């Protein structure tokens, strides 16, 4: 499933990389002297230059590395991803990379707390993907994001951001903020990042989502709100997407008990809405018919691992095969019977 979520982003990234004229020039033998950049390691082939600094122990040493003579200053990947983080690497200061630029930056599993405003500026015109996950970052240059004119994927999972300013970008397609606890979202948070296709907000202990948070995203296809703390019935207007583009909505592993009419609107006809692992008991027509009518594919609404009562509330589904097939075929009632197997005659007699 994750591969499907990232597919569009990666297609765009690869297209952008291949379109870069620099990649048509051989880069074999263009690494700096290995003794001068230790403990960083540069690798090169006929297409890519990559730098791995996972063993660097301080930002001062990192800065020294990027002050040496670089035969070629345009790199593909930069990585810091130690098996065991070191407590002495706590920041990326302004100018740390000298004049060297990157197309993709990966910083994982460190004690880095601060990325200063001008730490990444050499990559303003080259950066396609910035992945900074599993760190302790509380200071991040959100205000400079608009300057990264080709940035398409921003992944900031599992950090310590105290708040989230509005995201501003004309290029961003994929944004992930999962596992950042305590962040909140307003109608303006994404309104200036109108090209977003995929937003990941999983495992953030979210209990509430203001209406119209996604209402200005004309291209949005996937929103992940799984593993949060949404409970009770989702209110009318909980999820509103303007142009019926939403193809994947993940609400699994919350404590949702149901939805109110028009709680979810704007889904694509081929959408999948994942409600697995919630506390949904009833599928009353008044509340659920609008969502069912928006989709056309089989198994579109996934209600597995919910305590469905399968009483009179499901009669409207049981007597309409075209609607019932839209409910995932493995969705089951409290007693274990599949919802699809509930006998219509018994329901009609009961109801």
DSSP structural state of residue 139 = B
> What's the rounded Cα separation, in Å, for the pair 213 and 275?
20
Strand partners, 258: 233
Say whether 256 sits in a helix, a strand or coil: strand
pTM: 0.91
Per-residue tens of pLDDT for the chain, all 351 residues: 444 444 444 444 445 444 444 444 456 578 999 999 999 999 988 789 999 999 999 999 999 999 999 999 999 999 999 999 999 999 999 999 999 999 999 999 999 999 999 999 999 999 999 999 999 999 999 999 999 999 999 999 999 999 999 999 999 999 999 999 999 999 999 999 999 999 999 999 999 999 999 999 999 999 999 999 999 999 999 999 999 999 999 999 999 999 999 999 999 999 999 999 999 999 999 999 999 999 999 999 999 999 999 999 999 999 999 999 999 999 999 999 999 999 999 999 999
Q: What residues contact residue 145 under an 8 Å CB cut-off, 6+ apart?
A: 151, 154, 167, 168, 169, 172
CA 332 to CA 336: how far, in whole Å?
A: 6
How far apart CA 79 and CA 312 sit, in angstroms, is: 57
What lies within 8 Å, CB to CB, of 192 at 6+ separation is 166, 167, 168, 169
Domains of the chain as residue ranges with CATH: 1-224 (3.80.10.10), 230-351 (3.80.10.10)
What is the rounded CA–CA span in Å between residue 138 and residue 136?
6
pLDDT of 47: 81
In what helix (H) or strand (E) does residue 3 lie, and over which residues does it extend?
A: helix 2-19
- Residue 171 is predicted with a pLDDT of 98
39 cis-preceded (ω within 30 degrees of 0): yes
């Amino acid at each position: 499933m994750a591969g499907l979520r990232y597919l569009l982003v990666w297609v765009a990234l690869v297209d952008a990389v291949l379109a870069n004229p620099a990649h048509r020039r051989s880069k074999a033998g263009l690494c700096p002297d290995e003794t001068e950049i230790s403990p960083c390691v540069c690798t090169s082939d006929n297409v890519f230059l990559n730098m791995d600094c996972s063993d660097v122990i301080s930002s001062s040493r990192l800065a020294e590395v990027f002050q040496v003579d670089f035969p070629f200053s345009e790199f593909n990947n930069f990585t810091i991803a130690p098996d065991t983080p070191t407590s002495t690497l706590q920041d990326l200061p302004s100018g740390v990379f000298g004049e060297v630029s990157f197309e993709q930056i990966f910083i994982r599993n460190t004690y880095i707390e601060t990325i200063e405003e001008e730490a990444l500026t050499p990559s303003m015109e080259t950066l396609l993907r910035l992945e900074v996950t599993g760190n302790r970052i509380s200071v991040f240059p959100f205000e400079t994001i608009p300057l990264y004119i080709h940035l398409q994927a921003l992944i900031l999972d599992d950090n310590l951001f105290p708040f989230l300013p509005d995201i501003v970008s004309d290029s961003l397609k994929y944004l992930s903020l999962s596992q950042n606890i305590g962040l909140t979202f307003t109608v303006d948070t994404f309104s200036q990042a109108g090209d977003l296709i995929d937003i990941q907000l999983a495992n953030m202990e979210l209990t509430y989502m203001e209406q119209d948070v996604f209402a200005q995203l004309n291209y949005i296809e996937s929103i992940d709100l799984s593993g949060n703390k949404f409970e009770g019935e989702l209110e009318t207007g909980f999820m509103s997407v303007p142009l019926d583009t939403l193809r994947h909505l993940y609400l699994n592993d919350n404590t949702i008990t149901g939805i109110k009419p028009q709680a979810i609107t704007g889904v694509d006809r081929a959408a999948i809405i994942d409600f697995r692992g919630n506390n949904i008991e009833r599928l009353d027509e008044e509340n659920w018919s609008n969502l069912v009518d928006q989709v056309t594919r089989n198994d579109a609404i996934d209600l597995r691992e919910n305590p469905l009562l399968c009483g009179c509330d499901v009669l409207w589904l049981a007597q309409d095969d075209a609607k019932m097939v839209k409910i995932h075929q493995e969705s089951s009632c409290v007693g274990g019977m599949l919802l699809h197997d509930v006998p219509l005659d018994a329901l009609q007699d009961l109801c």
